[in-house]
Amino acid sequence: MQIGNANINWLGHSGFSIKNSSVIYIDPYNIKDGLEKADFILITHNHYDHCSVADIQKIIKEGTRIILTPDCQSKITKFETPIKMEIIEPGHELSFGEMKISAIPAYNIDKSFHPKDEQGVGYIIKFNGTIIYHAGDTDFIPEMQKLTGYQQPGKEFVALLPIGGRFTMTVEEAVEAAKMIKPSLAIPMHYGSIIGTEEDAKEFVKLCREEKINAEILEKS
């Protein structure tokens, strides 16, 4: 899907590819062979369905820059291909020319799968008038309040929100998050593989549209 200056594709589960002047992947998991090699790979936390060494191996090339949380570092050092690693924690921002990548907290409030002190992240990617928020594995957390100013005239603000429940937000919680941050487009993720169904994604889109929030399901690439 072309959104502003970016082409965004859903790779299944929480995985996405984003292409502008660079090729960016977020949390590739169970991806197909033959995808374009990555300039950047962003990893939200160390769980196997987000920091998947086998999938990262499919898309790295010499010089690929992998941005990851500290708990993923030991997995990534196994590659023979020369890559670059950037460790990021909540609140940090990295700049690469006109592109800025910020780490946003991602954690569970009332369950133990993603404790706040493990410092999992979501990402804000900004470039050329387009802002993409990948929430990571998270509940509807207070820190999302800080995202309310990103929707501005002339800019595209896309929110990729987990809806599967149990490990992350439920459909209803994700709708509440979308209502608060007011993206120009909300896209559901974290379903269709380990937990969550296509029916959940359809319900998310339906409820968002009832709240006058633009929402769409991306077909798996």
pLDDT digits (tens, 9 = 90+) for 96-149: 999 999 999 999 998 889 888 888 999 999 998 899 999 999 999 999 999 988
pLDDT of residue 129: 87
Return d(Cα 101, Cα 98) in angstroms, integer: 10
The model's pLDDT over 13-67, given as tens digits with 9 standing for 90+, comes to 999 999 998 999 999 999 999 999 999 999 999 998 999 999 999 999 999 999 9
Asked if residue 152 belongs to a domain, the reply is: yes
Domain assignment of residue 218, yes or no = no
H-type alpha helices, the chain: 53-59, 73-76, 171-181, 198-210
Rounded Cα–Cα distance for residues 191 and 203 (Å) = 12
In angstroms, the CA 96 to CA 135 distance is 21
CATH number at residue 78: 3.60.15.10
Q: Is residue 221 part of a domain?
A: no
pLDDT at site 115: 86
**Does residue 202 fall inside a structural domain?**
yes
Q: Which domain holds residue 10?
A: 2-210
In 3D space, the residue among 107, 126, 78, 122 whose CA is nearest the CA of residue 167 turns out to be 107
pLDDT at residue 86 is higher than 90:
yes
Which of 13-17, 121-125, 159-163, 190-194 is least confident?
A: 190-194
Which residues are CB-neighbours of 183 under 8 A, at least 6 positions away? Answer: 133, 150, 151, 157, 158, 159, 213, 214
Q: How far is CA 112 from the centre of its chain?
A: 21
CA angle 172, 174, 176 (to 5 degrees): 75
- 48, with CB counted inside 10 A (0-12, 13-18, 19+), is exposed
CA 125 to chain centre: 10
Residue 158 lies in a domain: yes
Given a cut of 80, whether residue 78 has pLDDT beyond it is no
> What's the structural domain count of the chain?
1
